[in-house]
Amino acid sequence: MINLVLFGPPGAGKGTQSEKLIKKYGFVHISTGDLFRWHTKNDTPLGKRVKEIMNSGALVPDEITIAMLKEELDKNPKAKGFLFDGFPRTVPQAEALDKFMKDNNSAIHYVIALEVTEAEVRARIAKRRTVENRADDEEEKLNKRITEYFTKTIHVLPYYEKQKRLNTVHGIGDIEEIFENICKVIDQQ
Ligand code: ADP
């Protein structure tokens, strides 16, 4: 069983690469962003709590996020392997994830960080916005998400680096080539 964290800023291509990885390796995909969107769309009690926070582009508090993640893990006791996408976004989340894995006699085997500069993600998102013709408030929200990544989430990288679990893959260029480079990391075992 291989468990993987795919890490990177908004617009880094995590969604695109996740899809390809799931197809190839059969991971159970756990995207905290998707889970939160499901809750807000279905207006669950959790959805009601996080809706405004998400709309502002800010991070949902760790306590809520970690509880939701634990629930999701417990739903999949027989998973062949997990691909975590959008989690962990803070050091306490990374610590909680390690604990959950350990409690299940497992571990996070690979952390793959898609390396994309802030300028590149801003350019990609600006381009996507003109194509999709998004509203102005959407622009503010995206800016906030990028800022949250480069001020808060980036601190998760040294956590994994210290434990020698961090693998960096250059995230700019051909999608297939980036995918191959991710697969090389996974297949190196
Ligand atoms: P992005 O498209 O910016 O990568 P996601 O789709 O992963 O974002 O998540 C959307 C929103 O959900 C985030 O802006 C945040 O409010 C919330 N969220 C998702 N994952 C987490 C997390 N691990 N910790 C805190 N908040 C989260």
Question: Which of the residues 24, 128, 144, 164 is marked catalytic?
Answer: 128
Q: Is the pLDDT confidence value at 136 over 60?
A: no
Q: Which two tokens stand for residue 122?
A: 């801003």
Instruction: Domain 4-186: give its CATH architecture.
Output: 3-Layer(aba) Sandwich (3.40)
Show Cβ contacts of residue 152 under 8 Å, excluding neighbours closer than 6 positions.
59, 89, 90
Q: What is the pTM of this model?
A: 0.91
Q: What is the residue extent of each domain of the chain?
A: 4-186
DSSP per position, 56-95? HTPPPPHHHHHHHHHHHHHH-TT-S-EEEES---SHHHHH
Ligand 1 centroid – CA 169 distance (Å): 21
| Residues whose beta carbon lies within 6 Å of some atom of ligand 1 | 10, 32-33, 36, 53-54, 57-60, 65, 86-87, 89, 93, 145
DSSP per position, 124-166? HHHHHHHHHT--HHHHHHHHHHHHHHHHTGGGHHHHHHHTT-E
* Residues of the chain above pLDDT 90, percent: 77
Ligand 1 centroid – CA 189 distance (Å): 30
pLDDT reported for residue 133: 60
Q: Is the pLDDT confidence value at 138 over 90?
A: no
Q: Is the pLDDT confidence value at 16 over 90?
A: yes
- Which residue minimizes the CA distance to atom 15 of ligand 1? 59
pLDDT category of residue 21 using cuts at 50, 70 and 90: very high
Element spanning 37, H or E: helix 32-41
Clarify whether 49 is annotated catalytic.
no
User: How many C-beta atoms lie closer than 10 Å to residue 137's C-beta?
Assistant: 11
- Which residue minimizes the CA distance to atom 10 of ligand 1? 33
Q: What is the pLDDT of residues 83-130, one digit of tens each?
A: 999 999 999 999 999 999 999 889 999 999 999 998 998 888 888 777
Give CA 177 to chain center in angstroms. 20
